[in-house]
Structure 1
Amino acid sequence: MSNSHPLYSADMRPGRTEPMGAQVRDDGVNFAVFSRHAERIEVCVFDANGQQELQRFSLFGPHDGVFHGFLPGASAGLVYGLRAHGPYQPQEGHCFNPNKLLLDPYARQIVGRFEWRAEHHAYTLDHPLGTLSYDTRDNGPYALKARVAGPDRVSAACFNRPRHAASELVLYELHVKGFSQLMPGMPEALRGSYAALAHPASIAHFKRLGVTTLSLLPVQYCIDEPTLAAKSLCNYWGYNTLGFFCPDPRMATQRDDPSAMLAEFREMVTTLHANGLRWCWTWSTTTRPKAASRGRA
C-alpha cells in the first residue's frame, strides 16, 4: 500500500449507520458495515482496476453493531474492500484476520474475476493446526472488490409492478441463460442474457402461455465452489451466492461493465412490468452448498 500520493486528503468522518453498504450522498460517500464482534473495520481504497491498494481509513463505531464513516470528496466509481479486526478464535466461530480483504456484503457493483487461492483463507492450508493456524499473507491483489454505485436513477415503471389476484397467478420458473440460449427469433448477441428476457420474442412467448410471474433461478453474484473449480466446472445454477445485491455478470451482455450490467437488469424489470409481468427469484436452502468448518463446499 502506498500513501506517498494519497487519493483523498480529507480524513474519514463519522457517518450514518444506515443504509448499509456504500452510498453516495452530499459531496462524498457514506459507509456502513455491520459486525457484532469486530473490534475495528477499515475501508481500503484501490485503483480503478482493483489491483493496487492506495489508502486505508478506519470506520467509527460500532454503534449498535454498525461501523460507519463518511469520506469527503469520494464519489461513484470508488473501488474498495474491507478489513475486519477482531478475535481469531475459530473454535468459537470467530475468524477475524485483517490480512484478508473482504467484499462488502451490500456491494451493488463488484470488480474483478474470482480465483480460488490459498491466500483467501484465514488459516494456512495443510497446516498441522488446521483452522487454528493463522495466515498472514495479504489476499488483497486477488480478492474481489466493491465499486460504489452512483445515485439510483430508476424509472417509476421499474417499481410499478403489475397487480394480479392470487387466484390468477401463473408462475414460470426459468434459468435466465438456459431459457433464451436456443430460443427461436432471439438475436445472437442477446442469447442467455437479462436483455433476452425483455426481448419481444420472450414477451410474446410468456403472453402466449398466459404467464403472470417469472420465477428466476438465482441471478445474484455467485462464485464456483472450489471442488468444481478444481475440475474446471462451474456452478451453472448459481446457488453459491456471494453478493446478494449485485446481478450475476455471467448473464449480462456487458459483463465487464458493472454499471451497464445493473442498467441492463433494471431495464429488464421495467420491460417486464410494462408488459404486465411480475418477477421473483427462486432460493432453496436445500440446494445451496454445504460447507465444512474449513469453508470448503
Structure 2
Amino acid sequence: MPEHVPSASAPVSPGLHVGQDGSGTFAVVAPRAQAVDLCIRRGRTETRHRLRRVDGPLHWDRVTGMTPGTEYGIRVYGRWDPEAGHFANPEMLLLDPYARGVSHASPLLTSMFPYEVDSMLEPVSAELAPSPFDSGPTAVWSVHLDGSFDWQEDRAPRTPWEDTVLYEAHVKGLTALHPRVPSAQRGTYAGLGHRAVTDHLRSLGVTAIELMPIHAAMDEPHLTRLGLTNYWGYSTLSFLAPNPALATAAAQRAGAQAVLDEVRTMVRSLHAAGIEVILDVVYNHTAEGGALGPSLSLRGLDAAEYYWLSEGSFLDVTGTGGTLDPRSVHVMDLILASLRYWAQEVHVDGFRFDLATALARDDGGFRADHPLLRAISTDPVLRGLKLIAEPWDVGSYGWRTGGFLPPFAEWNDAFRDGVRGYWLAQPRERERSGDPAIGGVRDLATRLAGSSDLFTRQDPSDLPAGRTLRSAWASVNYLTAHDGFTLADLTSYDDKHNEANGEDGRDGTEANRSWNHGHEGPVDPGTADGARIAAQRRRTRRSMLATLLLASGTPMITAGDELSRTQQGNNNAYCQDNEISWVDWSLAESEESCIATVRTLLALRREHPQLRTRAFPRPADPADLREDQVAWFGREGEELSHEDWFDPRRHVLQMLRPGPEHVLVVISGADRDLEVTLPAQPWPTGTPRIVLDTSREDGGTGSDPMSRPVRGKDGRQRLQVPARSVVVIVIGDTSGVEERLP
C-alpha cells in the first residue's frame, strides 16, 4: 500500500518500481487528472490508495507490500468531456501502461466502456454520460512480476544483416496444427520453441523469425459484435506484458509470471537453434480505438496526452479510429521503455514497427529524423538490434518506402508489387487481351538489384563516389505477408473471398496483382485441366520464390508459403482464428518440391556471397568482375540498350552475379518455351551446371546432364528455357554443393 514520505523525490520513470521486500514507488503520467488511486486486489477484495504526490504530470507515492503476483490497477478522477477528449471516470479500473504482466486474457465487455453501452457495445445515448458501473470485477488487472529467470547462458545469434533470412509467423498459427508438437503446446509460445519448429526453420535456412504481435491485446467492438476475434493481435492492450492467450493452459492457470517465463523459454530455445527473434510491435494505436472505444488504460488516464487529438477529435492515420501521439514525450518514453524491456529482459533481437510512418509524424507530416526515431536509433540498448519499419500509414502522404534512415530496414512493397506484376499480373493481362506487349523487365531488374532507386533517396549529394548511407539489406523483400493473399492464393485467385469476415466483402485490398491461371480457386487434379492448372500454379510459385531468394536485400518468407498454404482466397484473415489462418502441416508431403526449392535457393545464397552483398550491386566491368557487381543480358545474351529496358515485349532477363563461381540467373516470364543464348562473358574454369530449374516438379536441383546448356556452331551456349520459369546456372568449381545443402 502507499506510504506517505514527504521528503521523497519523484521517481525517475513511471510504473511500479519495488525491491525484493515489495517496497518502492508507483507513478503514473496523467497531467490532466485531479486525483489518482492505486488499487490493489487480493482475492476478490480491492483496496484503494490515493497517490498523494504530484510532480508536474506525475502522480506518485511510496508503496509497500507489493510482492510478486500482486494485482493492481489505477482509477482516475477528473474532467468528463468526451467531445474535448476527456474521459476521466473513476469507475474504470485501468491498466498500468508499464505493467509487465496482466491477470488474464479477456474478451471486450460492456463494463470496459467509460460511458454506458448496450449489449452490442453501442452507446445508449448520444450524450455519452459517464458509466456508473464499476469495471473492477471484470477488468484486466496489472500484475507485479519477479524479474528473475534462468537464461542458461543464452546468447543472441547476432546474425549479420546480409546473412539474414526472415520468416514471418503467428505464434498460434504456426503450431496449432503441427503433428509433431505435443497437443498441450500447440498454438503457444512453448509450441513455437519446440524442436519440431526449430528443425524445420533450420532445414529451410531461416535465420530469424519475425513474430506477429505478442503484446497483450483486446478485440475491437465491431469484431465482438460479429462474434469474431482479432487473431492477428494488432490491437494492443499493454506494450510490456505478453499476451496470456498465446501461452499454454498450464501457464495461464499459473499466472502472469508463468506466461512471461514461457515466452522467455521460447526465446532461449530459438536462440539455442541459432534463430533470432524479432517482434512485430504496434505503437501507433491501441485497443482503445478512437472516440467511441473502451477505457482500458491510456484513454482513462489522459486521452489528450497519449492520443493525437485535433480540437478534441481523434486523429486517425492508422485506420483504427485513433493514433498515439508521437509528439508527446510521455508517449515516447513509454515506447522506449517497452522496447528496452523486451530487449533486456526477454532477449529479443529486434523489432518490426507496424505503420512506422505514424510514429514519425509531427504537425508538418512525416520526418525521417523524428525525435522518436532518433531516440531509438541512438539508444545504447536498441541501436544494435535489427530494426524494421513498415514504411507507411493511411494518412496523407503516408507511403514512405525508402524514406527512413539507418539503422532501419524497411518492408519493400515495391519489390512485392514488381515481382507479382512480372509473374502474375502481366501474364494474366496478356492472356486476357492477347497482347504480347504487356511486360518488360526494367522494374524486375531494379528490384533484383536491391531497389537502390528507393533506398538511396536520402543520400546527401556530397557523398564519395559509390558510397551510400544505406546497404542493400535495408530492403526487406517479400512476396506475401500476414495481410493479403498467401503465395498459393496469389496463384489461385483473381479476386478476394472474404465472406467469412462478416463485412460483405468490403474489407481487404483489391490490389492483389494475382492470377488464378484460368480457374478461380481449387481445381480437381484428377482431371486433365485441373492437373495442368495445378502444375502451372506450382511452377509459378517456385519461380516467384527463386526471384525473392536470389535478389539483393533481406528476404522474408511468410510462414506456410513453403507449404503452399491457402486461406481459401481470404486476403484479410485478421479475424479468422481457425484453419483459414493456421499453417496446414499436412501439406508438407504433397508440396515437397516447394520446400526443396526454398532449401536449395537458401543454400545457394549461403554458398555464393555475391547474392548477399551489403552494397547495392553496381554495373559489372567485364575486364574486372567482382562480387559487388551485376550484369544484365537479354534473350540472345546481348547487353541491354536503353530502348531494351523500356520494351514491353521483353519477357526474358539474364542476371549475372560474378564471383569465384559465377551465378547466372535466367528468368523467363514468357508464355511459351524459348531458346535462350547465354551471354558471352569470360567464365572461370569449369563447366556451366544447372543447379535449379523451377519448371521441374523436383525443383531441378543438382546436375542433370540432359539439362546442361548446348554449345552452338557459333560457339555460344544455348538453353531451352520453359515458359514462366527460372534457371540458375553456376559456372566454376561447384563440387560439393549438393553435400552442403541442408
Give the TM interval when normalised to the shorter protein: 0.7 to 0.9
Say whether the 8 Å CA contact 1:41–1:59 is kept in structure 2.
yes
Identify the residue that residue 241 of structure 1 maps to in structure 2. Answer: 236
1:82 corresponds in structure 2 to 74
Q: Distance in 2 between matches of 1:115 and 1:146?
A: 16
Partner of 1:52: 45
1:185 aligns with 180
- Match of 2:230, SS state, is coil
Task: Give the AA of the match of 2:209.
Answer: L
Which residue type is aligned with residue 28 of structure 1?
A: G
Highest relative contact order (Cα 8 Å, sep 6+), 1 or 2? Answer: 1
More helix by share: 2
Q: Which has the larger radius of gyration?
A: 2
Deviations for 1:69-125, whole angstroms, at most 9, x for unmatched residues? 221233112111100122222222111111211111222221145344433222233
How many pairs does the alignment contain? 284
- Do the aligned residues in 1 keep the contact of 2:237 with 2:287 (CA within 8 Å)? no
The one-letter code sitting in structure 2 at the alignment partner of 1:162 is: P
Deviations 1:203-261 (A, max 9, x none): 11111111111100111111122222233221111111101211111211122321111
Q: The residue matched to 2:216 in structure 1 has which SS?
A: strand
In the aligned structure 2, how far is the partner of 1:221 from the partner of 1:290?
13
Unaligned runs of 5+ in 1: 1-7
CA contact (8 A) 1:23 1:149 kept: no
- 2:600 maps to what in 1? none
Q: Does 1:37 align with 2:14?
A: no
Alignment of 1:1-297 (within 5 A): 11-13=3-5, 16-25=10-19, 27-29=21-23, 30-48=25-43, 51-53=44-46, 55-125=47-117, 126-131=123-128, 133-153=129-149, 155=151, 157-158=153-154, 160-253=155-248, 254-256=251-253, 257-283=255-281, 291-295=289-293
Name the stretch that deviates more: 171-180 or 77-86: 77-86
RMSD of Structure 2 on Structure 1 (CA):
2.6
Cα distance, 1:85–1:161 mapped onto 2, change above 3 Å: same
Change (3 A) 1:196 1:12: farther
The separation in 1 between residues aligned to 2:22 and 2:285, in whole angstroms, is: 41
Distance in 1 (CA, whole Å) between partners of 2:231 and 2:10 is 38
Question: Residues 138 and 233 from structure 1, CA distance in 2 versus in 1: closer, same or farther, beyond 3 angstroms?
Answer: same
SS of the equivalent of 1:178 reads helix
- Distance in 1 separating the partners of 2:27 and 2:284: 31
Counterpart secondary structure, 2:3: coil
How many Å separate the matches in 2 of 1:60 and 1:142? Answer: 27
The structure-2 alpha-carbon separation of the partners of 1:246 and 1:130, relative to structure 1 and needing over 3 Å to count, comes to: same
User: 1:124–1:135: 8 Å Cα contact kept in structure 2?
Assistant: yes
Q: Distance in 2 between matches of 1:211 and 1:84?
A: 47
Percent identity over paired residues:
32
Residues 50-69 of structure 1 show CA distances to partners (whole Å, capped at 9, x for unaligned) of: x331x211224332422222
Unaligned runs of at least 5 residues, structure 2: 118-122, 295-319, 321-742
Q: TM-score, normalised by structure 1?
A: 0.85
Partner residue, 2:592: none
Assess if the C-alpha contact under 8 Å between 1:12 and 1:70 holds in 2. Answer: yes
Shift, 1:178, TM fit: 0.9
Note if contact 1:24-1:76 (Cα within 8 Å) is conserved in structure 2. no
Q: 1:163 to 1:244 in 2, by over 3 A?
A: same
Residue of structure 1 equivalent to 2:401:
none
The residue type equivalent to 1:130 in the other structure is E
Is contact 2:73-2:95 (8 Å) kept? yes
Task: Look up the equivalent residue of 1:98 and give its one-letter code.
Answer: P
Matched to 1:166, the amino acid is W
